[in-house]
Structures are given as structure tokens and as C-alpha cells.
Amino acid sequence: MLYRLHKAGYQAFLVGGCVRDALIGLHPKDFDVATNATPEEVRALFSNCRLIGRRFRLAHVRFGREIIETATFRAAANHKDDDVAHDQEGRIIRDNVYGTIDEDVWRRDFTCNALYYNIADFSIWDYAGGMEDVERRRLVLIGDPDHRLREDPVRMLRAVRFAAKLNFKIDKSVVDAMQNNVGLLTNVPAARLFDEFLKLFQGGHAERTFELLWEYGLFDEMFPATAQELEQDHEFGKFLQAALRNTDRRVKAEKSVTPMFLLGVFLWAPVKRLAAIRRSEEKMSESQSLSLAAYEITSEQQRRISLPKRFTVPMREMLALQPRFLVTTGKRGLNLLEHRRFRAAYDFMMLQSEAGLIDKDIATFWTDVQKQSAEERASSFKLQTTAASGKRRRRRRRPRSTSGQDA
């Protein structure tokens, strides 16, 4: 792709995280391209290109399963007719003013992400001291930190994510600006915060990410009900950290992870508290109260982070199943194994056991019973089988009366 842009007479650079990661010995997961070609000119060169975005106009060029994100060099808005807009807090809500590479560098967030690899001569162009900051492993914002965070409050979350992933230290000037502007996260669209949630907690560094979010007061802005419970319940904190460690292990082992599960972990304590209140107000089972409370807590959480139904519905089912693990006899216990959310609910229960919130004998029972045959399961759940109880008793019936015989 870079060579085609170069051959067509355009400048073409690899930029951002792929250059940074290569410098510190990490394998880049994706590649971003910066060019002086406009999105429309990129699309004219590549039939496999799709233009996206209104806030930032980008070209996505697909190669098999890979998507190369291509951005046109940007410049500061200096004219009244420029395609740029801000909200009342200074957050950029649209920015499509194109410029040169010399102008583009100052539109990027951190110095370590403002390194350009030139395909023409295989050199790295560094305008903002990014090479030095990479060597020192520190995160420094380009320009005035306070102003840059007001432009885009999500940069606070990006700082934490990069610090956790790269083992970088966040520069003091950035930390001070974060403390002054943490409340601006409430102005970020809920859908965008969900995307950031996925990047923060599904990249293999969830535990360290959570520690930094908590340290800088950002977690409270994303999950206020969870933060309130963590302040009061030390055991819930142990459970949450066990879940984060488990998520990191799964990512490193290249196993699947779903946001549904971790969302259930974050909301578990608030859901349990509200479920107890609902049971005191109205007669209902524990499972019913958990499902109702999960619905209410999720609706409240939606004000901060947009949670798609494809995740919230199975999450509610997973949480509502937790009391049923305490039933280890009878058909009700046996039927739990056939529930479509059993596996997720079982993993959730096992994490509670690991954190000391559930008797380990319960966890052992449900682990062992999954390996048993049908006959062994019947015995474990204390069920009588047809073979054990003998022939089914038949109900005796009176013979039908016939004409002339019932006198």
C-alpha cells in the first residue's frame, strides 16, 4: 500500500503505535498510514477502500482480514470556513482540515505516537522528541496538556492504556492535567466509551489498567456504582482483581474473551445490593431479584457507557443463575447443566470461589459433575433412576362393565 501511494506521487508514512512498538521490541498488531493524499484520492487508488467517520474522515483499506487505517495529514483550523467544530468544553467534535506532515505532527496526542517511518528512504521523522521519550519510557502529551485533554478527554484513558501496555510512566504534566479534567469524561459519547472499555480491558493488561484507572480517579467516572462498592467491600475488590487476572491469562493464551463476562463482574456487587432491596420490597426468588436488579443497574450504567443488548441480556442471565449453584440435589440442580449460559455462569462462580466468596466444596462439586456419566450424575444429584426403582407401579383399573354382567 505504501509503495502504491509513493508510486502515485504521494507521501506515505507508517505512523503511531506500529513505529513505537517496533522501536521497543514489540510486534505491532496493526499499522496506520499517514499521507498527503485525501481520503477520496486514496479511495481512487484502492478498490478495496472504504471511507468512514464524520469526526475524523479516514480511509480503511482492506487486505484480507487486515484493515490498514489511512489518515490524511491534518492541520490546525485557522479560517472560519474550515471543517472543524468544538463543544462548549473545548472537545473536538469534527476536524477535517488537511495540511502537511509538518502540521500533522502537532495534531497527534503523545510524542511517542508522533514518529513517522518514511517508505521513501526508510528513515524515521521525529518532530516532537518522541524517540527520546520512547527510550525513557515516558508518556508526554504534545502541546499544553490541559488544552489537549479538553480537546479530547479520551486521551486520559489512552494514557492509562499505553502506560499499562508499554510499562511507560505518565509524565507529571499529564497527570496534573488529568486530575484537573477527569470530570470531562462525562461529556464523551457513551458509545465511544464502550469502544475504549474494550481496548482497556481486553488487551491483555486489564489488571494493571484497572490499578492505574483507580489511581488517577478515572474508574469512578466510567463505573460509578462499582467504584462505590469497591470503597466499601474489600471482598468484592478481591473478586474483581481475580477476574482481571483471569482475563489477562486468557488473552495471553489466545483464548476468547467476551465483554459480557467482565461487565457482569464489574456490576455484580451493585446488582446484589439492589436485588436484596427488591426482595425486601416484594416477594420474589433470589434469581428473579438478581435479574431485575441487573436490568436496573445496567440501565443506570448506560448513562456512562453504552452497553449493547447482545452483551447485557446474557449477562443478566449469567448473574441470575448464581443462586442455583447452591442447589446440588434434585432435577433442578441437574437441569442447570443444560442451561445455555451454564458455562459462563460456572466460570463466574469459580471466580467467586477463588476470591473466597463461595464454599470451595460447591466449586469442586460442579467441576467434578461435568466429567461424570449420566448414571454418575444421577447419583451425585441423588436422583432415583428407572433401573434403581424397579418397574413403574401401575395403577389398577376396574374392568369395563358389559351389558348383563353388572347385576
Which amino acids are annotated catalytic?
30, 32, 109
Give me 188's grid cell. 464523551
d(CA 144, CA 153) in angstroms, rounded, equals 14
d(CA 314, CA 320) in angstroms, rounded, equals 10
Q: CA of 240: how far to CAs of 105, 223, 266, in Å?
A: 39, 13, 7
Q: CA of 339: how far to CAs of 318, 320, 345, in Å?
A: 10, 12, 10
| Distance in Å from the first CA to the final CA of the chain | 103
d(CA 223, CA 295) in angstroms, rounded, equals 16
With cell 468544553, the residue in question is 89
Q: CA of 375: how far to CAs of 128, 327, 378, 388, in Å?
A: 70, 19, 5, 11
Return the H-helix or E-strand segment holding 250: helix 234-252
Count CB neighbours of 303 within 10 A. Answer: 10
Give me 133's grid cell. 521519550
Spatial contact of 385 and 378, defined as CB atoms under 8 Å apart: yes
Strand ranges, E, within 80-214: 84-86, 92-95, 115-118, 123-126, 138-139, 169-170
Task: Identify the bridge partners of residue 33 per DSSP, sorted by sequence position.
Answer: 14, 70
Spatial contact of 239 and 178, defined as CB atoms under 8 Å apart: no
